[in-house]
């Protein structure tokens, strides 16, 4: 398997099924020759993630629940043993309770706020801190996934929009902290895609219709388009890019109406 990422190694966090954006990122990285490791967040997801890994001839599949520090530590130990080092980390994990993605943000529960922040935002610095030793020799690339609901009000996105805002701020601060070690940190702001998590947002179909009508390209995007940009950010082609949020949304982010 040849490509412009041949000889590099990466970890993709957040693959759940074939509809997940993290899966599209993993496919693009493998297509370009990167040796990968995947994770599963629970025993319920293990079988499906292992099956997906087989499709891409990925041998390393490890458990990682980002709400459990000990499990994150074990993941890093396992990556060190299996891969030895890392060039790329793709942070594709996010979660909010389904009941928080309807109604108003005003009604957000304390528990719902905390879990959305811990899984969707805090897990980025928590994992990045642990991964630094694996990237220390050559530097590397860290890429996370976000959405325009971080900066504009998307009805029913609620607590996840606030979590994504924290995630994007984390990208900037981590880029500053890790720049001296030649580790770049960026985010991809994807347009809406029919994923399992998106299906929990009330009115999601209407959002897709609005994008297709108003975006400059007059269409919605595909997960594979996000994966291609992830491969770019993971390569030397993007060696001067850090602390940035790159929009893959058919241009919708430039529109005022």
Does residue 198 surpass a pLDDT of 70?
A: no
Residue 203: band (very low, low, confident or very high) from pLDDT cuts 50, 70, 90: confident
Q: Which residues touch 51 (CB under 8 Å, ≥6 apart)?
A: none
The pLDDT, as a whole number, for residue 54 is 97
Nearest to 56 by CA among 10, 92, 87: 10
Nearest to 75 by CA among 38, 30, 125, 116: 38
Stretch 55-64: mean pLDDT: 97
The answer to whether 254 and 107 are in contact (CB under 8 A) is: no
The pLDDT, as a whole number, for residue 8 is 98
Q: How far apart are CA 56 and CA 79, in angstroms?
A: 18
Q: Within 10 Å of residue 118's Cβ, how many Cβ atoms?
A: 15
Give the dihedral sign, CA 137/39/100/107: negative
Find the helix or strand (DSSP H, E) in which 55 lies: helix 43-55
Q: Which residues touch 206 (CB under 8 Å, ≥6 apart)?
A: none
Stretch 109-117: mean pLDDT: 98
Q: Which residues pair with 140 in a beta bridge?
A: 183
Q: How far out from the chain centre does Cα 244 lie?
A: 14
The answer to whether 132 and 174 are in contact (CB under 8 A) is: no
Does residue 186 surpass a pLDDT of 80?
A: yes
Q: How far apart are CA 67 and CA 19, in angstroms?
A: 23
Does residue 1 surpass a pLDDT of 70?
A: no
* Domains along the chain with CATH numbers: 9-249 (3.40.50.720)
Does residue 197 surpass a pLDDT of 70?
A: no
Q: What is the pLDDT of residues 129-180, one digit of tens each?
A: 999 999 988 999 999 999 999 999 999 999 999 999 999 999 999 999 999 9
Q: What is the pLDDT of residues 241-252, one digit of tens each?
A: 999 999 999 999
Residue reference for tokens 């220390």: 136
Query: Model pTM?
Result: 0.95
Q: Which residues pair with 178 in a beta bridge?
A: none
Average pLDDT score, the chain:
95
Q: How far apart are CA 11 and CA 224, in angstroms?
A: 18
SS3 at position 92? coil
Query: What residues are labeled active site?
Result: 147, 157
Nearest to 29 by CA among 141, 119, 136: 141
Q: What percent of the chain has pLDDT over 90?
A: 92
DSSP one-letter string for 195-246: -TTGGGSTTHHHHHHHHHHHSTTSS---HHHHHHHHHHHTSGGGTT--S-EE
Helix axes 158-178, 110-117, angle to 10 degrees: 30
Q: What is the pLDDT of residues 70-95, one digit of tens each?
A: 999 999 999 999 999 999 999 999 99
The pLDDT, as a whole number, for residue 160 is 96
What DSSP designation does 169 have?
Answer: H
Does residue 200 surpass a pLDDT of 80?
A: no
């Amino acid at each position: 398997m040849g490509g412009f990422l041949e000889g590099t190694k990466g970890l993709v966090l957040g693959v759940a099924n074939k509809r997940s954006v993290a899966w599209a990122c993993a496919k693009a990285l493998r297509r370009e020759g990167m040796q990968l490791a995947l994770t599963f967040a629970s025993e319920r997801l293990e079988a499906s993630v292992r099956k997906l890994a087989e499709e891409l001839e990925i041998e390393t599949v490890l458990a990682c629940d980002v709400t459990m520090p000990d499990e994150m530590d074990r993941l890093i130990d396992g990556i060190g043993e299996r891969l030895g080092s890392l060039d790329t980390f793709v942070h594709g994990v996010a979660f909010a309770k389904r009941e928080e993605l309807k109604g108003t943000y005003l009604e957000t529960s304390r528990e719902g706020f905390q879990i959305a922040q811990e899984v969707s935002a805090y897990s980025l610095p928590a994992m990045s801190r642990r991964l630094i030793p694996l990237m220390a020799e050559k530097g590397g690339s860290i890429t996370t996934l976000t959405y325009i609901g971080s900066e504009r009000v998307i009805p029913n996105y609620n607590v996840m929009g606030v979590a994504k805002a924290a995630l994007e701020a984390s990208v900037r601060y981590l880029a500053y902290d890790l720049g001296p070690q030649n580790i770049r940190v960026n985010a991809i702001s994807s347009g809406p895609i029919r994923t399992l998590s998106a299906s929990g947002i009330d009115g999601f179909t209407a959002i897709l219709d609005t994008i297709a009508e108003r975006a400059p390209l007059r269409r919605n995007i595909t997960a594979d388009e996000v994966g291609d940009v992830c491969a770019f950010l993971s390569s030397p082609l993007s060696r001067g890019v850090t602390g940035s949020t790159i929009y893959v949304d058919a241009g919708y982010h430039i529109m005022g109406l």
